[in-house]
Amino acid sequence: MTENTTNTSRFTFKSVVLLLLPIILLIGVIALFLSTGGGLSLESAAPVEGLDVERYVLKENSVELHVRNTGPEEITIANIIINSAVMPFRVEPSTDIQRLGRAVIYFDYPWSYGEAYAITIFTSNAVPFNVEIPVAFETPQPSNSTFWGFTLIGLYVGVIPVFLGIFWFPALRQLGRRTMTFLMAVTAGLLVFLGLDTLAEALEFASKVPSAFQGIGLIGIGSVATFLLLDAISKRQTEVTGNETDRRLAVAFMIAVGIGFHNLGEGLAIGAAYNVGEIALGTFLVVGFIIQNITEGLGIIAPVLRDRPSLGRLAIMGLIGGGPAIIGAWIGGYTPSPFLAVLFLAIGAGAIFEVIYEIAKLIQKDTARESMPMTVFSGVLTGMLMLWVTGLLIK
Amino acid sequence: MKSISRRDFLKVGGLAMFGTVGGVTWAQKNAPQPALPDDICGVSQIQNIVPTAQMQHGDGIMPGTVGEVNHEENGFDPTNILTDFDYGEVSIMSDGRTLREYRIMALNKDIEIVPGIKFPAWTYNGRIPGPTLRCTEGDHIRIIFQNGSDHPHTMHFHGFHSGAMDGVPGTGPGGNVQPGETFTYEFDAEPFGLHLYHCHVFPLARHIAKGLYGAFIIDPKVGRPAVDHEMVMVMSGFDIDFDDENDFYAVNAIPFHYQNHPIQIKVGETVRVYLVNILEFDLLNSFHLHANFFNYYPTGTSLTSSEFTDTIIQGQAQRGILEFSYKYPGIYMFHAHVTEFAELGWNGMFEVKEQLQVHHD
């Protein structure tokens, strides 16, 4: 067997040793460094510690702090002070928190509705970590009413506007080829704007991710992987069918997916903001979201205007594009996780930019038949301006 | 019909996502009890829902620490410090006067001030506050001060003495005692009253806040009326993260100590408290006694009470003597009526018990 292997491949015992040699040397160097310190003086005068408060939960007469040790070494929670009062507390699973480990700190405190609180967590090395509660109110717990509340937010912000946009389908079908190309360009413009917006939001969440999880790197991985994966899928589909109509339908679905991830991110942000009292979902804001997101529905149907997709397919596209807003609101409202938010938003950005690439290819086919440079220019610009102007209502 | 089942589906799907403590507790709390019959597996499922808190609940929510600091490792226990008076090594001088010799050493020491947090303190004789030096008016005082730490330190006494004995930089060798060096402070004890001593090396606020202070009692020659209990309380704070703001406050160094270990006295017993404020970084400190009034002797320099009150205010280095007794049994708070300090540790209790009835047949 071994003889056979050595004969057929050039992977000899010698090459295995040569391959392993650097690794063995590496282990040796690490061992040497660990035992001698490598001649560096690594003792620091002040302990380097990190503690992220990922979320706080206010319940009647009690407070929960969900924390993560983001420092290089194990830390021990030693004291809790809230608004200048030392409070007895307990930590689960333990006051000792491993590197990147999580724990929940519980303490009783008779907080009052609408007031502000400052909490200091002291570790055993007397390193303080501060938590601000700008406005105290009972954290929404999963219950029928908050559940439906978040669902409604998602419906208004995501599902309804996307479907409203899709309802333009019959009207837009009457348009000529040139106008349809213009609409495709508008869609590309919308997506460029949404892509930038998604990326910006991902960067914002990335700053809240514990540094050890490298939020920016996560954005790169999520977006590049999604872009290349969708690209591969689309190329494969072209190889398999080569049918122009199917391709356009596929692009429409991919737009729906990209917009779906964007809406998931939007839902996450709204749910999380609502959870910490940073947002009052006024009617004006909801109206703004509906107006802005109606353009997303338009974007989804633009590639298939000249075809006859079934009603069921249109409905599924609408759900894919708008539904994630509801899921996002649930996740953001109940278990805000910056890590997940960054990942979803990065996937969304990757998907959106890939779809722009696909649309660009479709537009290129149209413009190859009939030159219309101003149509593309004005369309893309119109798409971006639509979102910018309607965005004024929300920001 | 259809919409209901769809709704239920969404609800279940949503609940499945709440894989969090909040979600689980919610589900458990709101679980309809009849739906969980005890006899399913012979054990009630409700039993192990909420882990019993390690917090003291008692009558209500109260500030406090969890657990106990290691007094043995600290080398002192605030309960003992209350009544620990150091009268020095006594001898009679050739002129017939009393000579008291004290040995004090400045030491760096990590002191666990609240459970789990050690404060890198600078101490006199390894404790905070430093030893309560006690003598009588007119005694000759000799303090052999040895600096066993790695910073220059001094002992600056409040009272009458010569400039060379003032323990302030610029006044000679006693004004800046270097690590490893020894200096002997010598003076006559006067005036009678309640005083204090502390380090006076620059930066002063840091040298004091790190723990270099103590009470210095000069009894009047005629003495004070006899009481059942005499105790020392030195009010201070701790800035554990060195931002020049106190994080904890206490009497005799350990926050909440007398809240966790109430001071034991009996109804009708007379109590004299020697109260010193050496709090750094904050302007004022105060003392409030619950359900009682006390006679107050500011700085203890008069034998006549200046005030009958239940609350007094002291700036840094102000001090005074309190005399009182309790009429009724019970648990009584005493604390800074700067209530912020109270909730950050400067809070204690007197536990007043009935006098034991002595039966004579």
Specify the CATH number for the domain of residue B185.
Answer: 2.60.40.420
- Residue B241 has its nearest CB partner, among A76, A126, A143, at A126
- Residue B316's closest CA among B361, B287, B275, B285? B285
Is pLDDT larger for residue A296 or for residue B123? B123
Report chain B residues whose CB lies below 8 A from the CB of A66: 21
Quote the minimal CA–CA distance from A286 to chain B in Å: 23
User: What is the band of A242 on the pLDDT scale with cuts at 50, 70, 90?
Assistant: low
Asked if B53 reaches chain A (Cβ–Cβ under 8 Å), the answer is yes
Nearest CA in chain A to B242: A126
Residues of chain B neighbouring A90 (CB-CB closer than 8 A): 53-55, 66
Task: Tell me whether residue A306 is in a domain.
Answer: yes
Q: Does residue A226 share a domain with residue A324? A: yes
Choose the closest CB to B18 out of A57, A89, A334: A334
Is B38 within the bounds of a domain?
no
State residue B13's pLDDT score: 33
| Interface check B9 vs A, CB under 8 A | no
- Contact of B345 with chain A, judged by CB distance below 8 Å, is answered with yes
pLDDT tops 70 at residue A277 = no
Question: In the listed set A74, A107, A133, which residue is the last one of a domain according to the structure?
Answer: A133
Q: Are residues A128 and A202 in the same domain?
A: no
How many structural domains compose chain B?
1
Using left for φ > 0, alpha for ψ between -120 and 50, and beta otherwise, residue B242 falls in: left
B168: its two tokens: 């302030």
Assess whether A328 and A251 both reside in one domain.
yes
Q: Of A109, A133, A157, which marks where a domain is finished?
A: A133
Q: Is residue A138 part of a domain?
A: no
Q: Are residues A360 and A229 in the same domain?
A: yes
Per-residue pLDDT at A2 exceeds 60: no
What is the DSSP code (8-state) at residue B73? Answer: H
Domain that holds residue A329: 144-391
Task: Work out how many CB contacts closer than 8 A connect A with B.
Answer: 108
Min Cα–Cα distance to chain A from B343, Å: 5
Q: Kindly state whether residue A57 falls inside one of the protein's structural domains.
A: yes
In this prediction, residue B5 carries a pLDDT of 35
What residues of chain A lie within 8 A of the CB of B119, using their CB?
Answer: 126
Q: Based on the structure, what is the number of domains in chain A?
A: 3
Cβ separation of A95 and B116 shorter than 8 Å? yes
Q: Is residue B264 part of a domain?
A: yes
Examine the domain organization and report whether A103 and A20 are in the same domain.
Answer: no
Contact at CB, B57 and A78, closer than 8 angstroms: no
CB contact under 8 Å between B61 and A109, yes or no, is: yes
* Inter-chain CB proximity B22 and A334 less than 8 Å: yes
CA–CA dist A51, A124 (Å, integer): 13
| Whole-number pLDDT of residue B331 | 96
Cβ pair A312, A226 in contact under 8 A: no
Average pLDDT, chain A: 83
Flag whether the ipTM exceeds 0.85.
Answer: no
Dist CA A274 CA A289 (whole Å): 15
Closest CA to B348 of B41, B78, B66, B38: B78
Please give, rounded to a whole number of angstroms, the shortest distance from the CA of A87 to a CA of chain B.
5
Interchain contact, A109 vs B119, CB within 8 Å = no
Helix (H, G, I), strand (E, B) or coil at A196: helix
What's the predicted TM-score (pTM) here?
A: 0.73
In a domain, A45, yes or no: no
The answer to whether residue B13 is domain-embedded is no
Question: Within a 10 A sphere around the Cβ of A104, how many other Cβ atoms?
Answer: 18
Which CATH number do you get for residue A83? 2.60.40.1890
| Per-residue pLDDT at B45 | 36
Query: How many beta carbons lie within 10 A of that of residue B202, not counting itself?
Result: 11
Residues of A with CB under 8 A from a CB of B: 57, 61, 64, 66, 76-79, 81, 84-90, 92, 95, 104, 106-110, 120, 122, 124-128, 139, 141-144, 147, 151, 330-331, 334-335
Domain assignment present for residue B186? The answer is yes
Nearest to B80 by CA among B232, B211, B275: B232
Cβ-defined contact of A79 to B20 (cutoff 8 Å): no
> Which position has the higher pLDDT, A353 or A278?
A353
A127 with A19, same domain? no
Query: Does A167 reside within a domain?
Result: yes
DSSP, residue by residue, A71-137? SSS-EEEEEEEESS-B--EEEES-SEE-TT-EEEEEEE----TT--EEEEEEETT--EEEEEESS--
Considering the domain boundaries, does residue B5 fall inside one? no
Which strands sit side by side in the sheet containing A96-97, from one edge to the other?
A: A96-97, A75-82, A117-123, A128-133
Predicted confidence (pLDDT) at residue A144 exceeds the cutoff of 80: no
A104 inside domain? yes
A151 shares a domain with A122: no
Whether chain A has a CB inside 8 Å of the CB on B32: the answer is no
Are B55 and A81 in contact (CB < 8 Å)?
no
SS3 A294: helix
Task: Give residue-wise pLDDT tens across range A119-130.
Answer: 999 999 889 999
A172 and A261, same structural domain?
A: yes
pLDDT at A139: 82
Tokens of A219: 């954005």
A250-254, A288-292, A364-368: the lowest-pLDDT one = A288-292
Q: Which residue of A has its CA nearest to B57?
A: A108
Chain A partners within 8 Å of B17 (Cβ) = 330-331, 334-335
Encoded amino acid at B119, one letter: F
Tell me if B318 is assigned to some domain: yes
Burial A373-386 (b: 16+ CB within 10 A, else e): eebbeebbeebbeb
In the predicted structure, residue A350 carries a pLDDT above the cut 90: no
In a domain, B316, yes or no: yes
| pLDDT tens sequence across A95-118 | 999 988 889 999 999 998 888 999
pLDDT 10s per residue in chain B (361 long)? 333 333 333 333 333 333 333 333 333 444 343 333 333 333 333 333 333 333 344 557 889 998 899 999 999 999 999 999 999 999 999 999 999 999 999 999 999 999 999 999 999 999 999 999 999 999 999 999 999 999 999 999 999 999 999 999 999 999 999 999 999 999 999 999 999 999 999 999 999 999 999 999 999 999 999 999 999 999 999 999 888 999 999 999 999 999 999 999 999 999 999 999 999 999 999 999 999 999 999 999 999 999 999 999 999 999 999 999 999 999 999 999 999 999 999 999 999 999 876 665 5
Higher pLDDT, B327 or A275: B327
Residue A46 placed within a domain: no
pLDDT value for B78: 97
A22 and A113 belong to one structural domain: no
Measured between CB atoms, does B116 come within 8 Å of chain A?
yes
Higher pLDDT residue, A47 or B64?
B64
Same domain? A186 vs A205: yes
Its domain, for residue B274, covers 71-353
User: Is A106 within the bounds of a domain?
Assistant: yes
Say yes or no to pLDDT of A305 above 70.
yes
Q: What pLDDT score was predicted for residue B293? A: 97
Do the domain assignments include residue B193? yes
**Residue A268 sits in the same domain as residue A245:** yes
Minimum-distance CB partner of B116 among A78, A104, A109: A78
Collect all residues of chain A within an 8 Å Cβ-Cβ radius of residue B28.
none
Nearest CA to CA, how far is A226 from chain B (Å)? 24
In a shared domain, residues A257 and A213: yes
Distance CA(A251)–CA(B274), nearest Å, equals 85
Whether the CB-CB separation of B259 and B252 falls below 8 Å is answered with: no
